[in-house]
């Protein structure tokens, strides 16, 4: 079990997640002048923790085993797929959630205004879908850069 705590790629990937999630709080504060602590455990936003973690993992594997190794090829392809998914599919799922939330809101307004269709607790029946699921290309890019540079720095400190 102690070897798990010495696994450099795992440590780098976890640090990538935590540092990206933490950075969301001051970035949001800078943009809105509001502290939002729940960003530490939320999906989406700047920078992408998905990108930071998988690029940290791939960079650490490359630093340990070489850029010509099969392990690096696997980690790099995994990173590309995860970043593509974070930007594309998950982003569009968030867009669809926004549209559905708007439709539900319009329906609620219609129900409130309708005299024929009175229903108790209309306000309590709505469950809002989470809209911030994926990332913009810039969020994926900067998350990736964070993961790469952070891990290169760590490898310089611990491996060299």
Q: What is the pLDDT of residues 56-77, one digit of tens each?
A: 999 999 999 999 999 999 999 9
DSSP element (H, E) containing 19:
helix 8-32
Average pLDDT, the chain: 80
* Domain shared by 69 and 33, yes or no: yes
Q: Residues near 131 by Cβ (< 8 Å), separated by ≥ 6?
A: 94, 95, 97, 98, 101
Highest averaged pLDDT of the listed ranges 26-40, 65-79, 100-114: 65-79
Distance between CA atoms of 67 and 27, rounded to whole angstroms?
A: 33
* Domain shared by 75 and 98, yes or no: no
CA dihedral 75, 80, 86, 89 (to 10 degrees): -120
- Is 90 a residue whose pLDDT tops 80? no
* Domain shared by 13 and 72, yes or no: yes
* Domain shared by 38 and 75, yes or no: yes
Q: What percentage of the chain's residues is helix, strand, coil (to nearest 5)?
A: 75, 0, 25
For the entire predicted model, the pTM comes to 0.66
* Domain shared by 66 and 143, yes or no: yes
Number of domains in the chain: 2
Rg (CA), the chain: 21
* Domain shared by 7 and 77, yes or no: yes
* Domain shared by 12 and 57, yes or no: yes
Q: Residues near 110 by Cβ (< 8 Å), separated by ≥ 6?
A: none
* Domain shared by 53 and 97, yes or no: no
């Amino acid at each position: 079990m102690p070897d798990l705590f010495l696994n450099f790629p795992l440590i780098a990937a976890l640090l990538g997640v935590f540092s990206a999630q933490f950075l969301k709080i001051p970035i949001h504060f800078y943009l809105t002048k509001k502290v939002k602590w729940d960003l530490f455990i939320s999906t989406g936003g700047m920078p992408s923790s998905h990108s930071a973690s998988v690029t940290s993992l791939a960079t650490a594997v490359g630093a340990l085993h070489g850029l010509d190794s099969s392990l690096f090829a696997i980690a790099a392809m995994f990173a590309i797929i995860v970043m593509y998914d974070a930007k594309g599919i998950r982003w569009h799922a968030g867009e669809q959630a926004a549209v559905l939330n708007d439709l539900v809101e319009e329906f609620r307004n219609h129900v409130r205004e309708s005299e024929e269709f009175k229903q108790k607790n209309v306000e309590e029946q709505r469950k809002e879908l989470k809209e911030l699921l994926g990332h913009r290309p810039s969020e994926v890019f900067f998350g990736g850069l964070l993961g790469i540079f952070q891990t290169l720095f760590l490898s310089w400190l611990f491996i060299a």
